[in-house]
Amino acid sequence: EGQWKVIGAVARKTKAGKNMATITVTDNNKDLKTFLVFDSMFQKARLMARIGVTRVIKLAETKDGAEYLRDIY
């Protein structure tokens, strides 16, 4: 958790018709991280996670260990 630069994003629709995305970010050490964005955070992420911008990103984990976006600012 901390400041990450957005370098990629792919949006898609689930079978249920909800929005979902995968975002790839990098930190100052050039470490890459990829995480999911569920429908509840999709619009906020779409507005704030533009490619090339640096944001503070808070992540959480699903029961199976996948990381997802909890908050972005």
Partners of 12 in the beta sheet?
A: 20
pLDDT score, position 29 = 92
Contact 4, 59 (CB under 8 A): no
Average pLDDT, the chain: 96
- Strand segments, DSSP code E, in 1-73 are 2-13, 19-26, 32-37, 54-61, 67-72
State the Cα–Cα distance between residues 3 and 39, nearest whole angstrom.
22
Contact 22, 36 (CB under 8 A): yes
Contact 27, 42 (CB under 8 A): no
Phi, psi of 40, rounded to the nearest 5 degrees: -65, -25
pTM (global) more than 0.85: yes
User: What proportion of the chain, given as a percentage, has pLDDT over 90?
Assistant: 97
